[in-house]
Amino acid sequence: MTNINTLKTELTTQIEAANDLQALDDIRISALGKKGRVTALMKTLGSMTPEERKTKGQELNVLKNEITNQLKKQEKVLKKVEMEERLATEQLDITLSIRPERKGHIHPISQTMDELVTIFGAMGFTVAEGPDIEDDWHNFTALNFPPGHPAREMQDTFFLNNPAKVEPEQKSGDTRKLLRTHTSSVQIRHMENNEPPFKTICFGRTYRSDWDMTHTPMFHQMECICVDKDITMAHLKGCLTDFVRAFFKIDDLPVRFRPSFFPFVEPGAEVDIGYFKKGEGIKLGLADNPNDQKWMEILGAGMVHCNVLTNCGVNPEIYQGFAFGMGLERATMLKYGISDLRTFFDSDTRWLDHYGFDPFDRPNSATGQ
HSE (side-chain half, CA atoms, 13 Å) at 185: 25
| Cβ proximity of 234 and 257 under 8 Å | no
User: Which residue number, 56 or 180, has a Cβ lying nearer to ligand FA5?
Assistant: 180
Q: How many CB atoms lie within 10 A of CB 39?
A: 15
CB 203, min distance to ligand FA5, A: 11
Residue 176 phi, psi dihedral angles, 5° rounding? -80, 155
CB 297, min distance to ligand FA5, A: 6
| Cβ proximity of 358 and 103 under 8 Å | yes
Residue 105 phi, psi dihedral angles, 5° rounding? -130, 150
Sign of CA dihedral 142, 312, 198, 234: positive
User: Which residue number, 57 or 316, has a Cβ lying nearer to ligand FA5?
Assistant: 316
The three state secondary structure string of 253-308 is CCEEEEEECCCCEEEEEEEEEEEEEECCEEEECCCCCHHHCEEEEEEEEEEECHHH
For the CA atoms of 294, 295, 296, 301, the dihedral, rounded to the nearest 10 degrees, stands at 170
User: Which residue number, 75 or 297, has a Cβ lying nearer to ligand FA5?
Assistant: 297
* DSSP assignments along 154-194, one per residue: GG---EEEEEPPPPTT--SS--EEEE-SSTHHHHHHHHHHS
Q: Which residue is nearest to ligand FA5 (CB)?
A: 327
Q: Taking phi first (over 0 means left), then psi (-120 to 50 degrees means alpha), and beta for anything else, what does residue 353 get?
A: alpha
User: Which residue number, 36 or 108, has a Cβ lying nearer to ligand FA5?
Assistant: 108
User: Which residue number, 28 or 330, has a Cβ lying nearer to ligand FA5?
Assistant: 330
User: Which residue number, 74 or 332, has a Cβ lying nearer to ligand FA5?
Assistant: 332
User: Which residue number, 285 or 327, has a Cβ lying nearer to ligand FA5?
Assistant: 327
Q: What does the DSSP 8-state code read for residue 201?
A: E
Rounded CA gap, 130 and 12, in Å?
91
- Degrees to nearest 5, angle at CA 176 with 171 and 130: 90
HSE (side-chain half, CA atoms, 13 Å) at 112: 24
CB 227, min distance to ligand FA5, A: 13
Which residues of this chain interact with ligand FA5, rule CB under 6 A? 182, 184, 208, 210, 215-216, 219, 221, 223, 262, 265, 299-302, 323-325, 327, 329-330, 341
User: Which residue number, 21 or 296, has a Cβ lying nearer to ligand FA5?
Assistant: 296
User: Which residue number, 36 or 302, has a Cβ lying nearer to ligand FA5?
Assistant: 302
CB 207, min distance to ligand FA5, A: 8
Sequence-distant (6+) residues with CB within 8 A of 256 are 271, 272, 273, 274, 295
User: Which residue number, 31 or 264, has a Cβ lying nearer to ligand FA5?
Assistant: 264
Strand partners, 188: none
